[in-house]
Amino acid sequence: MTNETKDIKAGVIERVTGPLVRANGMSEAKLYEVVKVSDEKLLGEIIELHGDVAAIQVYEETAGIGPGDVVYRTGRTMSAALAPGLLESIYDGVQRPLKDIQAASGDCYIKRGIEAQPIDLEKKWSFKPTVKVGDKVQEGDVLGEVQETTLIMHKVMVPPGEGGVVATIQSGDFNVTEMIATLTRDDDSVASIAMLQYWPIRAARPKTSKIFPAEPLRTGGRSIDTFFPIAKGGAGCIPGPFGAGKTVTQQSIAKFCDAEIIVYIGCGERGNEMTEVLDEFPHLIDPNSGEPLMKRTILIANTSNMPVAAREASVYTGITIAEYYRDMGYNVALMADSTSRWAEAMREISGRLEEMPGEEGYPAYLSSRTAEFYERAGIVKALGSDDRVGSLTVIGAVSPPGGDLSEPVSQATLRVTKTFWSLDADLAYKKHFPSINWLNSYSLYAQNFEGYWKEQIAEDFAEVRTTAMTLLEKESKLLEIVRLVGMESLSNGDRLILEVARMIREDFLFQNAFDKDDAYTPLERQYGILRSIVSIFEVAQEVIDQPEFEFATLTAIPSFAEIARLKDKLQWTKDDYQKFQDTLRAEISALIA
Amino acid sequence: MSNKEYTDISSIAGPLMVVEGVEGVKYEELVEVNVAGENVPRFGKVLDIAKDKAVVQMFASTTGMTAEGTRARFRGETLKLGVSEDMLGRVFNGAGEVADGGPEIVPEQRRDIAGEPINPYSREFPNDFIQTGVSSIDVMNTLVRGQKLPIFSGAGLPHSRLAAQIARQASVKDGSDFAIVFATLGVSFEEAEYFRREFEEAGALERSVLFINTAADPVVERVSTPRMALTTAEYLAFEKGKHVLVILTDLTNYCEALREVSSARKEVPGRRGYPGYLYTDLSTIYERAGRVKGKQGTITQIPILTMPDDDKTHPVPDLTGYITEGQFVVSRELYRKGVFPPVDVQGSLSRLWSAGVGEGKTRADHSALKDQLFASYATGREVRELAVVLGEASLDDTDRAHLKFADAFEREFVGQGEFENRSVEESLDLGWKLLTMLPRTSLKRVKPEQIDKHMSSVSSEEKI
């Protein structure tokens, strides 16, 4: 995150504790200004100012730094570099490409003081203007386009706060710092515009207005899309103890969801997990476009053992990049794994600042920071005169200690997210995956989608969903009775509920993320499967009340065994499911004939 | 290096010492402390430096130190460990000093013990199967080279014997042996001695490096012992191309030492008095495992920790579980039944298992067989619970078969004794053999072709 500004020698260090450095002589510095610490030029950011003493959080190891070392100011606030070339990159928390760090350090370790440009400044991009000289443009208007990857057309926009009449506009191959257009502002001054722009990471990018989310993000996950859907532009969270499958769930969503851009933030997590994503994504094919997933992905990897302050910055870096693509009119999905590690980084810095702690040592501003972060999600009308609509969906993993959701980070997150996928240790122990608990989880967006479902999928989608969820609810009560008195005491009606609920769990909700066919089920087929299961319940109602009805004859019909195989029928269409349901009906009705 | 000595010690409390009037001191700098009347210096590092006041965390005990007459010298570098290939076969104490009476090590390199984070971009995903010779691990929770997989145990459980068995038997398909770096952190003398003898008897000592910090040694020394072990491991793996297995026991003691230092610094505590940065600190240990591009060697880590009161939600196992790639859980229930090794198959997990199994690595049927064994064992255990409530009479034939299977699975498959080294093929065949106890209709996770192929081969072997 560097740009052309000169480094000014400013302060002198007086104290060092871990990632926090205090320096005096900083009376001219701004809050959140980027500084370089000592002659090793370690990257840091001013987070507090008291008189001429600045508290600086340093994004690299501070061993070997001490009082008397100098601090350089840059005059710039912590910003993300935004230009073509972001896609397919893998960055650390402060937007340094890990590939360049490897080249610069010549080793597998991350060395200190490495400066790396977030964007390749040499590479030429073919820029095609979409405006002409004399056009009047305002902030957010698209000046031209660059084919960034085979999937994504990068739109070069007038930066926020700029505008005027197009005086010159270029066409051809340019690098990101070359001037591609000049605008004559209203006051006759001239603004020259390059493709590379900066935006401070801690401020949300401006938009014209927010829109009420009414369309689901389709992920191909059956328990997510049908039971607990999230909106395009929504905010969701996945809390769960370790081993419950947070990362697998997040990665499945990143792989298969129908967003055009994915920003994946590995925030304080395992190194090998990031490597897995790096190995896998270039080879995996996006089911929605047929192109490698990497072409739409930006990775931010600040693993647990990398500097803790950079972990704090990583989520902001990620969301700023995500907003930039949202402003182009794309649907963007951002995954942050895990926001608990981000909160812990805040706690560590806060402790070093000797602030008065709130709950469990977390700073008092934990919940407001969390809320601000999730509020940057949304479906928006972007700046610009063409009313582009873009969305940013934010999905945060939370790692509550011991799986206990009463802790501060989970609580702060639950207050601001509207989809809650509760991962359950017991289900994981039984190897039921995804271990999304069907009784605790919720989606407040579901009611927004009723219209969408009716139009796109089926008239009775919402009813089928409700019936299925009610059956699971009833099952949990019945199972308690069974545990006390055994199966024999149940009526045929209750046994039917248990049987159908079991099918919903085992043959619908259970989904193998590692099986390439099972990992992704389109919403149409999800409905087909669930509709088939629920129709057993509806039709069998009529026969089980017959006197002397043997329950075993119901479970013996051929279609019953077929249910388990429905998820393997990749080619089935609406008609096939209809046919299957007709057979089912006929077989069940035949039992009483 | 500065030769200036400072004598203005304003306070000594717990593991911390405050030196006043210092100049040019850097964060994390190594401090040499000479106590009046002692020939051997003690060492510490700078924990906080404000203007001319340095807070020093001692690595050695502060017992007997005096504010008057103690001299501190700042060495101008961070704590480094001299490493060499000659360390193999040797025993060191928790501070990295030779402890077997042998000659000093002539270092080939001096490395900072804090290490540096591995660039995720430079990592290579671990995918080589390690055969431990333990069926419940090899088949059900496969370990791969470059993985970090802790053993979660409890007081009085035989985790040491399990770790020793893994260290003794671990091998890879290409036949290469592991070099073993082993560190004890605050364990009893007997336990440390048990491991030393084990390595000696198995002839593994000459490919091992031992760091011994016992309960009698200074608590704060424990904070650097695992880092010394890992620095040695990194040198052997990434400079000398060896496959290194690192065993650390017991991490719970390490975390307690960290808590002690934190409380002496009067830091705001996180959960149960442990410092808020416990997760970050543990990750700087665990994340030093792995494979990297362009280097031949690997580091596989097996940290051992005891869960206070067998509680998996205690901060130490909890935060460990969030960093490591799974866990082996030692089961008290199985141990009481006399099963060894008592690995809780259901509670254990290896996140990287799928990368280590299958055609060319173990066998094509491994994945399906594992799922089937898992499902059948889970059913068997459910039936067992049901039988307790409702009585055996309420069970049908399929249930009874599962009940018998679960018993046999625990006795024969999980239980194998301390000295039986099973090849993965033997373990897989044993799995198939046990499945013959169940009705074929209940085997839904394996394909019919696989049943025909493996079950018939098992039964024909039986006839011979």
CA–CA separation, A560 and A160 (whole Å): 60
Q: What is the layout of strands, in order, in the sheet containing A190-194?
A: A136-137, A164-169, A179-184, A190-194
Cα atoms in the Cβ-side hemisphere of radius 13 Å centred on A43? 25
CA–CA separation, A180 and A157 (whole Å): 11
Mean pLDDT along residues A278-301: 86
Over 90: is that where the pLDDT of A148 sits? yes
CA–CA separation, A239 and B417 (whole Å): 40
Q: Does domain A461-592 have CATH number 1.10.1140.10?
A: yes
Indicate the SS3 state at residue A302. Answer: strand
C-alpha pair distances (Å), A333 with each of A96, A323, A419, A452: 21, 10, 14, 20
C-alpha pair distances (Å), B99 with each of A524, B32, B214, B229, B254: 69, 21, 13, 14, 21
pLDDT, one tens digit per residue, over B169-223 is 988 877 777 899 999 999 999 999 999 999 888 888 899 999 999 999 888 889 9
Over 80: is that where the pLDDT of B436 sits? yes
Mean pLDDT of chain A: 91
C-alpha pair distances (Å), B268 with each of A358, B256, B264, B273, B320: 10, 16, 11, 8, 21
Check CB contact of B392 with chain A, cutoff 8 Å: no
Residue with token string 């620095």: B231
Check CB contact of A415 with chain B, cutoff 8 Å: no
Q: What's the residue count for chain A?
A: 593
Distance to chain B for A298, nearest Cα, Å: 14
Over 90: is that where the pLDDT of A376 sits? yes
Instruction: Find the closest chain B residue to A62 by CA distance.
Output: B27
Mean pLDDT along residues A82-109: 92
| pLDDT confidence of residue A5 | 54
Distance to chain A for B40, nearest Cα, Å: 25
Mean pLDDT along residues B353-361: 88
Task: Give the single-character DSSP code of B410.
Answer: I
Distance to chain B for A465, nearest Cα, Å: 28
Over 60: is that where the pLDDT of B449 sits? yes
More confident residue, B307 or B448: B307
Question: Band of the pLDDT at B457, cuts 50, 70, 90?
Answer: low
DSSP letters, B214-255, are ETTS-TTHHHHHHHHHHHHHHIIIIIT--EEEEEEE-HHHHH
Is A304 in Cβ contact with B283 (below 8 Å)? yes
Of B47, B321, B374, the CB nearest to A242: B321
CATH of A8-77, one of 3.40.30.10, 1.10.150.20, 3.40.640.10, 2.40.30.20: 2.40.30.20
| pLDDT confidence of residue B460 | 45
pLDDT, one tens digit per residue, over B28-59 is 999 999 998 888 899 999 999 998 999 999 98
Over 60: is that where the pLDDT of B463 sits? no
Convert B110-140 to b/e letters by CB count within 10 Å (16 or more is b): ebbbbbbbbbbbbbbbbbbbbbbbbbbbbbb
Over 70: is that where the pLDDT of A2 sits? no
User: What type of residue sits at position A441?
Assistant: S
Distance to chain A for B233, nearest Cα, Å: 15
| pLDDT confidence of residue A169 | 96
Question: Band of the pLDDT at A481, cuts 50, 70, 90?
Answer: confident
Residue with token string 């006399």: B338
| pLDDT confidence of residue A3 | 45
Cβ-Cβ contacts under 8 Å, A303 against chain B: 117, 120, 283, 287
Q: Does domain A125-195 have CATH number 2.40.50.100?
A: yes
User: Residue A7: which of A50, A51, A49, A37 has the closest Cα?
Assistant: A37
**Chains A, B: CB contacts under 8 A, how many?**
188
Fold matches, B5-77 and B81-354 = no
pLDDT, one tens digit per residue, over A511-570 is 988 888 888 999 999 999 999 999 999 999 888 888 888 888 888 888 888 888 898 889
Domain ranges of chain A: 8-77, 125-195, 209-443, 461-592
Cβ-Cβ contacts under 8 Å, A62 against chain B: 27-28
Task: Give the single-character DSSP code of A441.
Answer: -
More confident residue, B332 or B461: B332
CB B186 within 8 A of CB B254: yes
The strand pair at A142-147 and A125-129 is best described as: antiparallel
Cβ-Cβ contacts under 8 Å, A278 against chain B: 120-121
CA–CA separation, B81 and B94 (whole Å): 12
**In angstroms, how far is CA B200 from the centroid of its own chain?**
20
CB B59 within 8 A of CB B91: no
CATH of A209-443, one of 3.40.50.300, 3.90.25.10, 1.20.120.420, 3.40.190.150: 3.40.50.300
For chain A positions 101-130, those within 8 Å of chain B (CB to CB) are 101-102, 105, 107-111
Task: Give the single-character DSSP code of A553.
Answer: H
Mean pLDDT along residues A298-313: 91
Q: Give the CATH number of domain B5-77.
A: 2.40.30.20
User: Residue A62: which of A92, A95, A20 has the closest Cα?
Assistant: A20
Domain ranges of chain B: 5-77, 81-354, 366-455
CA–CA separation, A180 and A194 (whole Å): 5
Over 80: is that where the pLDDT of B235 sits? yes
Question: Band of the pLDDT at A1, cuts 50, 70, 90?
Answer: very low
| pLDDT confidence of residue A37 | 93
Mean pLDDT along residues A163-184: 95
Of A105, A275, A514, the CB nearest to B123: A275
Check CB contact of A552 with chain B, cutoff 8 Å: no
| pLDDT confidence of residue A60 | 87
CATH of B81-354, one of 3.40.640.10, 3.40.50.12240, 3.30.830.10, 3.40.50.1000: 3.40.50.12240
| pLDDT confidence of residue B423 | 93
For chain B positions 86-115, those within 8 Å of chain A (CB to CB) are 112, 114-115
Mean pLDDT along residues B366-371: 92
| pLDDT confidence of residue B464 | 35
| pLDDT confidence of residue A593 | 66
Indicate the SS3 state at residue A192. Answer: strand
CA–CA separation, A40 and A286 (whole Å): 43
C-alpha pair distances (Å), B163 with each of A360, B49, B141, B234, B244: 35, 41, 15, 21, 15
